């Protein structure tokens, strides 16, 4: 549930500004085979090096504030780096015309990235504040937070022990239960 909200907000650059042969696909154990086939699973866009802002569900207000602050800082740093790097890259690849194209791109990025970072930051803080209520309710029910799936779950040791016992009985026909015996 909520898979479209999971993941990262992706910012992409126009193909004329980036030499795609110099970009390396991010290494990840998940989805490596599918990315080599050219299609992303579940119609999600492939991970690109331009993923900047985390859109993962924050557990509570503290996690939301942390994520929000990181997003705002990434926006400011990304805008600053783009303002400096875009004209340089443009000049190196396309000469004087590329410098001015890069300058315009850098200025646009220097404005857009901090604004986007601030917007995502506000969103994450708000989501964290809302999720704080959920945290109180769910933790009072005895549920735990799954850091990877970003959701609350109920863990019951007795139920898991019964399931494990049933699986053991089905798999081995009850073998192995009854002590260590043996010898002679």
3-state secondary structure of 9: strand
Q: Rounded distance, CA 176 to CA 165, Å?
A: 11
pTM, entire model: 0.57
Q: Rounded distance, CA 172 to CA 5, Å?
A: 42
DSSP assignment, residue 141?
Answer: T
In this prediction, the residues of the chain whose per-residue pLDDT falls under 50 are 1-6, 8, 10-45, 48-49, 176-177, 179-183
CA-based end-to-end distance of the chain: 56
* pLDDT, tens only, 47-98: 544 577 888 889 889 999 999 999 999 999 999 999 999 999 999 999 999 9
The predicted pLDDT at position 47 comes to 52
9, two tokens = 């907000």
The predicted pLDDT at position 12 comes to 44
The predicted pLDDT at position 151 comes to 82
The predicted pLDDT at position 33 comes to 40
HSE (side-chain half, CA atoms, 13 Å) at 87: 13
The predicted pLDDT at position 22 comes to 43
The predicted pLDDT at position 107 comes to 94
The predicted pLDDT at position 53 comes to 84
Q: Locate all alpha helices (DSSP H) within 12-141, ordered by sequence.
A: 32-37, 61-140
The predicted pLDDT at position 110 comes to 93
């Amino acid at each position: 549930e909520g898979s479209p909200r999971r993941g990262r907000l992706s910012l992409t650059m126009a193909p004329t500004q980036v030499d795609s042969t110099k970009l390396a696909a991010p290494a990840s154990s998940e989805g490596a085979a599918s990315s080599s086939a050219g299609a992303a699973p579940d119609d999600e866009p492939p991970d690109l090096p331009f993923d900047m802002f985390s859109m993962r569900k924050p557990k509570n207000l503290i996690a939301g504030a942390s994520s929000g602050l990181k997003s705002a800082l990434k926006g400011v740093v990304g805008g600053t780096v783009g303002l400096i790097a875009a004209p340089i890259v443009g000049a190196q690849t396309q000469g004087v015309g590329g410098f001015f194209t890069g300058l315009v791109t850098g200025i646009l990025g220097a404005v857009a990235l901090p604004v986007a970072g601030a917007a995502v930051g506000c969103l994450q803080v708000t989501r964290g504040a809302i999720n704080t209520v959920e945290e109180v309710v769910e933790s009072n029910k005895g549920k735990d937070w799954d850091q990877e799936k970003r959701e609350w779950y109920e863990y019951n040791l007795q139920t898991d022990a019964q399931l494990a016992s049933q699986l053991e009985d089905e798999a081995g026909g009850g073998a192995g239960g009854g002590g260590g015996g043996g010898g002679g």
